[in-house]
Copies of this chain bind each other. A is one copy, B any other.
Amino acid sequence: MKSIEVVYSPKLLPLYDLSGKLVVVIDILRASSTICVAFETGVNKVLPVAGIDECLIFKDFDFLIAAERNAIKVPAFDMGNSPFEFQNPLLAGKNIAFTTTNGTKALKMAKAQGAKEILIGSFLNLSALCKQLEELQLDVVLLCAGWKDKYNLEDSLFAGAVAAHLSDYFAKNDDACIAAIELYEKHANNLDEIIRKSSHANRFQLLHLHTDDIAFCSQIDYTQKVPKLVGEYLVI
């Protein structure tokens, strides 16, 4: 029987052996949600990049460039990290280089630690993601990007949603997985409300920014696309 583990912070990832495992990278507010939107809009590929300077270079190579730090779009970039920016139909067919505070870092770590497969998960592609996880029949690690390596509520809630939705062919003995399922099951009918309680939502409110993004990122099954890391690129 395949297992599901939940990792609440990239800082804890080195405690896990990822060999042969599938890692789902989760950054609900907002990188993993935004990446799902980008593919629904029809982008060709997304290159996750660690640093801002490194990301800027790709402007010279026919990429659109997107960057967010501390919840704010970085000046001189084409886009920040709001899902609404990635709904623009002009993005169809384009390549995007993308760097964010938490999500792209988590993705890079999962790759560096030798995960067999890496997928992008968000409420926006929940059902399609769960279907793939059932089909692929690998041990699954749900990696929450968190906020600067701290636990966050919305990523944990989504990890719980995935674990709760997966069939009985997965063992869910991991304590972090059990707690995530408990959290999700308590709030399955009011996701938007619990996410609004989170520190990240408060951060948005303090900045007078992105409050519509929360409702958007709480939508289930906006897309059937499941972005996957192949080499250095996210593709579908």
Q: Report the contact-size class of chain A (Cβ under 8 Å from the partner).
A: 20 to 34
Q: Is the CB of A173 within 8 A of B202?
A: yes
With A173-B202, A178-B198: A150-B183 Cβ-Cβ less than 8 Å: no
Of the residues B173, B182, B199, contact of A175 by C-beta under 8 Å: B199
Q: Is the CB of A150 within 8 A of B15?
A: yes
Point out the residues of chain B lying under 8 angstroms from A175, CB to CB: 147, 150-153, 156, 198-200
Interface membership of A186, Cβ < 8 A: yes
Q: A6-B151, A15-B149 are in contact. List 12 more A-B contacts (CB 8 A).
A: A8-B151, A9-B12, A15-B148, A15-B150, A153-B175, A153-B178, A156-B179, A173-B199, A175-B200, A179-B183, A182-B182, A183-B183
Q: Is the CB of B173 within 8 A of A153?
A: no
Chain A interface (Cβ within 8 Å of chain B)?
Answer: 6, 8-9, 11-12, 15, 147-153, 156, 173-176, 178-179, 182-183, 186, 197-200, 202
Q: Which residue of B lies closest to A150 (CB)?
A: B15
Q: Is the CB of B150 within 8 A of A12?
A: yes
Q: Which residue of B lies closest to A157 (CB)?
A: B179
Q: Is the CB of A151 within 8 A of B173?
A: no
Smallest beta-carbon distance A50→chain B, Å = 19
Give bound CA distance, A152 to B12, whole Å: 13
Give bound CA distance, A165 to B6, whole Å: 28
Give bound CA distance, A176 to B150, whole Å: 8
With A151-B175, A183-B183, A198-B178: A15-B11 Cβ-Cβ less than 8 Å: yes
Give bound CA distance, A182 to B175, whole Å: 15
